Amino acid sequence: MKPLDDLTVVDLTQSIAGPVCTQLLAEMGATVLKVEPPSGDSFRNLMNGNMFTPFNHGKQSLCVDMKTDGGLSIVTELVDEADVIVESFRPGVLEKYDLDYESVTTRNEDVIYCSLSGFGRTGPYQSYPGYDPCIQAVSGLMATTGYSDRPPVRIRASLIDCGTGANAAFAILAAVRHRDRGGDGTHIDISLFDVAISWMSYWITNYDQSGSLPERAGGKGIGSAPNGVFPTADGHIYVAALSEAMYERLCTVLDRGDLLEEDRFQTIDDRMDHREALRDELIPEFTEFTSAELERKLLDAGVPAGAVQTVRDLVENDEHVEARSMIVDSYNPEVDEQVLAASLPFRFSSNIHDGQFSSRPPKKGEHTDHILEALSYSDDEIERFHERDAVFSSS
């Protein structure tokens, strides 16, 4: 038994944010029916399917053309019986098919309906397309990222997408809990823009209080020194001496007690005022060690540090990744190959989830006929749907 095994979720999303949300629900036991257009999820072909694979485990795929009468009738039947609907269409599109929240609730009044978009369902930006790097730009995040003498840069991982998907799943579970305790269904409006703004919270609060804008600081941290990226004998390391005690430990590890006596470096404020001078003192010491050696020495001494690793390091060499089972076997349906994927980032002491994905990502339309059979369509009716190009199957 899994926590959500009594829920049926109709997934009308593509890309990353929506699939992240519905994968979380699927891995907690929900039956997730992924409704795909004839061309499939638009992210299936990106990076040879490697952008689709990590976020679509545990789902069944129904490939259907909603622009046909037959296809629309199938999707309508699914949403009218669903416990949860998650969609990522542009505002106004689903109204044409009577699949918007207002229309669906006339037929399924207790449904939990989550609309996931770039900018939300209200406001002057509501009709704009929104993708992770664009949201990084307009949310202020990109303006804080990079070096002060160079243009802003994007964060290469799709953090806003993934964060929006996780927030959407949380909101859905709250709505399910509310409904289970006697409440009504609800419409959840969540956007990448809103999530990004919420993640800029301490910069917003600091600007309101001080009037100061965050500056692009490259590898430098905020609030203390040394705090940033430093070179080592074989790469780079991030070191963050966030308190006087940590700075003392750092100097002890390096056998540089003289830095504790130096007037320029007496307090955190002093060290921040003379950040570059302190950096010049530390670099020759750090480059005596490899990143791994220095990381271990500093961590053992209680100084926060992290060797800068590549994806190869994570996959092939990181013993903690292995111990935590954070990389697991998966399957890329677009190239029909076994691949590795990052697992879900939580562990339960009970048997709710063991870290392994419940099932591989589906091929486009892999479960089309199975889903139609579950809706009580006969073999002849299913064949006619195929003949009229209302549905498609991978078989």
Rounded CA separation 151/111 (Å): 46
Question: What would the pLDDT profile of 168-219 be if each residue is shown by its tens digit?
Answer: 999 999 999 999 999 999 999 999 999 999 999 999 999 999 999 998 988 8
Residues labelled as active-site residues: 161
- Please say whether the beta carbons of 339 and 360 come within 8 A: no
Indicate if the pLDDT at residue 1 is higher than 90: no
Q: What is the mean pLDDT of residues 30-41?
A: 98
Question: What would the pLDDT profile of 206-264 be if each residue is shown by its tens digit?
Answer: 999 999 999 898 888 888 999 999 999 999 999 999 999 999 999 999 999 999 999 99
Indicate if the pLDDT at residue 395 is higher than 80: no
Question: What would the pLDDT profile of 131-167 be if each residue is shown by its tens digit?
Answer: 999 999 999 999 999 999 999 999 999 999 999 999 9
Q: Which residues, other chains included, contact 188 with Cβ-Cβ below 8 Å and sequence gap of 6+?
A: 112, 113, 114, 115, 168, 171, 172, 175
Task: Look at residue 175 and give its three-state secondary structure.
Answer: helix
The neighbouring-strand residues paired with 112 are: 84, 186
Rounded CA separation 115/12 (Å): 10
Determine how many CB atoms are found less than 10 A away from the CB of residue 137: 15
Query: In 62-95, which positions are buried (b, 16+ CB within 10 angstroms) versus exposed (e)?
Result: bbbbbebebbbebbbebbeebbbbbbbbebeebe
Q: Tell me: cis bond preceding 226? Omega within 30 of 0 counts.
A: yes
Could you give the strand order of the β-sheet that contains 84-87, starting from the edge strand earlier in sequence?
186-191, 112-117, 84-87, 8-12, 31-36, 59-64, 391-392
Give percent of the chain above pLDDT 90.
Answer: 96
Output the pLDDT for position 264. 97
Structure tokens given for 245: 């005690």
The amino acid at 178 = H
CATH match of 8-199+347-392 with 2.20.28.10:
no
Angle at 187 between CA 186 and CA 191, to 5 degrees: 145
Angle at 225 between CA 221 and CA 227, to 5 degrees: 35
Question: What would the pLDDT profile of 48-78 be if each residue is shown by its tens digit?
Answer: 999 999 999 999 999 999 999 999 999 999 9
Task: Look at residue 323 and give its three-state secondary structure.
Answer: helix
The amino acid at 7 = L
List the domain boundaries for the chain: 8-199+347-392
φ/ψ of residue 8, rounded to 5: -110, 125
Q: Which residues, other chains included, contact 324 with Cβ-Cβ below 8 Å and sequence gap of 6+?
A: 347
Determine how many CB atoms are found less than 10 A away from the CB of residue 363: 18
